[in-house]
A and B are shown apart, each in its own frame.
Chain A
Amino acid sequence: MSAQVFIPGDSSALSVGADGVAAALSREARSRGLDVTIVRTGSRGLFWLEPLVEIETPTGRMGYGPVADEDAGSLFECGFLDGGAHPKALGRIDDIPYLKLQQRLVFARCGLTDPLSLEDYRRHGGLKGLEAALRLGPKATVDEVLASGLRGRGGAGFPTGIKWRTVAATASDRKYVVCNADEGDSGTFADRMLMEGDPFLLIEGMAIAGVSVGATMGYIYIRSEYPHAFATFSRAIEHARSGRLLGERVLGSAHAFDLEPRLGAGAYICGEETSLLESLEGKRGEVRAKPPLPAISGLFGKPTVINNVLTFASVPWILDHGPKAYAEYGVGRSLGSQPFQLAGNVRYGGLIELAFGATIRELVEGFGGGTRSGRPIRAVQVGGPLGAYFPESLLDTPLDYESMAAANGMLGHGGIVVFDDRVDMARQARFAFQFCAKESCGKCTPCRLGSTRGAETVDKIIAGLGRQKNVELLRDLCEVMTDGSLCALGGLTALPVLSALDHFSEDFAKPPRAAAE
């Protein structure tokens, strides 16, 4: 039988040469007359080890990484096909502490299987959630999601079951399921990894939503900065259709559900759900005033379930194992697991799925091993460009919805970006405004104008002009933007700005400098 070698086709792995490694290994095997099949998988999310090559052995998957093209010859010489010793050998993948210490519910299969093989998916526990939902029927399925305590993983943390129940209860000739895969926050990549590494899980989650609220059509809106994810996911949809996971009779049931992928066009604001719906309707991505909620009047004015990738992808596990088992993970009202993403200036960046409640420090120091530069950690931004910057003294804040809010931050989509002591926090505050100005949809004044005025005001502070007065003005502006903006872009820009001001005030009191570009 042909030996199987697993190499990620994930775009992060590609970015450090996974295709070259795959070609080198297959060339080397041919020249040695060996029968080797190369399987392209998703990534395990241990990115400092990419390209990570895995081999199936009787004792489990053995890993080698980071592998370079020129390692191909020595890998064969040391007998890596049987897990032989080599300077790049990592031992059993499952024993690597970074993975072993995680609680992978959503990412259990990512990196293990061929993302486009429905057979592989089923063999590794896939489709059990949808089968359970079909057995239970729509109402009981929604009840299970409600009982699990699952909250929206896109950032807002709204209870998913309540959203689904509202859509299920709203009478309409047509309903929609929409997946928000416009993952624009810097420091986040979980949605991308999942779409590239385990797309059927997301399709299964969306199908469960469709079946349980009575929607027959779904859309997934993927950002154009993710060309590989869009390509893989589009192919996965076709495989799902031919495998009867999608179509007129979902898994042979009486329920119809189909999916269409749509590509975004480089607008961060389209990650805001109402802006995304406008964009799907073919319009400018300007946010809508709420109410009406999308659950009542969403896509094309019809009741719509709109959730993030990770929300849908959490559902199959819940249906398969029951809401009680899910709610055993987490703390307080933050139940289940959150795929955190560790990035920026960090030694061991990657995907870390844990139950809610671990501290920022456990992630950046425990898993991350501190900064990549080896310098002291100065600031950690949690929750993307609209999340707060935490100083060293607050790194023991637990990562759950309530604790983060109590610390004037937010969990967002679970992105964690580490900065060393060279960061200038006044410039980071300025960037928050600049980003908001660039990405504002322009519909409401506090966001459209406030962002530009905010950047100018930070410039004045940096340049040493009327500092005290301008800091007061900045705080006032933040209040106006927080209270007066239509959506989270303008409404949360104050979080990074105020956290920089509150925790790093010395950076706003340095000797005057020229304003940033």
Chain B
Amino acid sequence: MAAKAAFDAELARAVIDRRRSAPGAALPILHDLLHEFGYIDDAAIALMADALNISKAEALGVVSFYHDFRRVPVDGRVLKLCRAESCQAMGCEDLVEHLETRHGLAPDAGDAGRGLHVETVYCLGNCALSPAALFNGAPIGRLDRGKIDAIVADAEGKAS
């Protein structure tokens, strides 16, 4: 994944200005901020509120509603693991257990200094090839223990 820029209010202002006049601009702006910085900084929420002429509380309300708009930067790689019904039917919970017992990585609990964040998602639309995942944006079908071990090794290699 491309390195993200460190948060910078000037840059954030420029990012916000690009889409501020679009109808219903909040989500496009937040996605642009996410793309630029990798997370939504508290200062950016205030800047967006200002630009859109809404209260900070309203802006924060929008940010906090959506799972995507993380409020702290992510250091390392992200494995989005589908845990919805189709993947359950193909044993995704066994893979979660494998990640925990073998690699000490629990979903949605930070990266434990390992360079890999495991996040729960519900459905990636790859249900005929369950269990499914996205590793740094690349789709993975028929996920199994072997593929998980390779992903963990890959992430740790990159982290060190």
A-side residues, CB < 8 A to B, are: 11-12, 14-16, 45, 47-48, 50, 183-189, 191-192, 224-229, 262-268, 279-286, 300, 341-346, 349-351, 372, 381, 385, 415, 417-420, 423, 428, 431, 435, 439, 441
Contacts and interface: CB of A to CB of B under 8 A. Distances in A.
Interface string B76-103: 0000101011111110000000000000
- Nearest 5 interchain pairs by C-beta: A349-B128, A186-B84, A282-B26, A343-B127, A15-B141
B141 A225 contact: no
A488 B15 CA distance: 36
Given A283-B62, A344-B89, A372-B90, A12 B24 contact: no
A50 B129 contact: yes
Interface in B93-145: 121-130, 132, 134, 137-142
Contacts of B65: 267, 284-286, 441
Interface of B: 23-28, 30-31, 52, 61-62, 65-69, 80, 82, 84-90, 121-130, 132, 134, 137-142
A185 B123 contact: yes
A186 B126 contact: no
Given A47-B128, A186-B85, A224-B31, 11 more contacts: A11-B126, A47-B129, A186-B82, A225-B125, A262-B28, A268-B122, A282-B27, A286-B65, A342-B128, A343-B86, A343-B128
Given A284-B61, A300-B23, A415-B127, A15 B140 contact: yes
A284 B66 CA distance: 8
B127 A341 contact: yes
Please report whether the interface of chain B is mostly helix, strand, loop or mixed according to DSSP: mixed
A419 B90 CA distance: 8
A293 B129 CA distance: 38
B25 A282 contact: yes
A185 B80 CA distance: 17
A309 to B, nearest CB: 12
Contacts of A45: 128
A184 B137 contact: no
Nearest to B26: A282
Contact of A282 (B52, B90, B127, B132): B52
A367 B132 CA distance: 22
Contacts of B130: 343-344, 349
Given A262-B28, A281-B24, A226 B125 contact: yes
